[in-house]
Amino acid sequence: MQEENCKHFLTDIEYNINNKNIFNDQCLKCYDNPRSEKGLNICLKCFDGCCFTREDNHTKLHLLKRNHNIYINLKDI
């Protein structure tokens, strides 16, 4: 039996990261960073940083606005 990938997996990740920039390692809305309590989510489609420690949940706002739904969490320990 062949396993199937999530339908979002192939369409929502930017595989070619050549010449792509992550302009900063802070949340676009509140400036949380990887040293914050829960770290920082980086969108794997557009490489924007979004936090999820605030009441506003800036990752959720990014998801609702852009429909990008795959993130990697960066956390400095």
Tell whether 35 is covered by a domain. Answer: yes
> Range with the lowest mean pLDDT among 11-15, 52-56, 65-69?
11-15
Tell whether 77 is covered by a domain. Answer: no
Does residue 24 surpass a pLDDT of 70? no
Does residue 9 surpass a pLDDT of 70? no
- How many independent structural domains does the chain possess? 1
Locus of tokens 């010449």:
19
For residue 70, the model assigns a pLDDT of: 86
Structural tokens at position 28: 């676009």
For residue 3, the model assigns a pLDDT of: 55
Locus of tokens 């999820």:
52
C-beta separation of 43 from 71 below 8 A: yes
Range of the domain at 59: 7-15+22-72
pTM across the whole model: 0.72
Does residue 72 surpass a pLDDT of 70? yes
C-beta separation of 68 from 47 below 8 A: no
C-beta separation of 42 from 72 below 8 A: yes
Tell whether 2 is covered by a domain. Answer: no
Strand pairing partners for 42? 49, 72
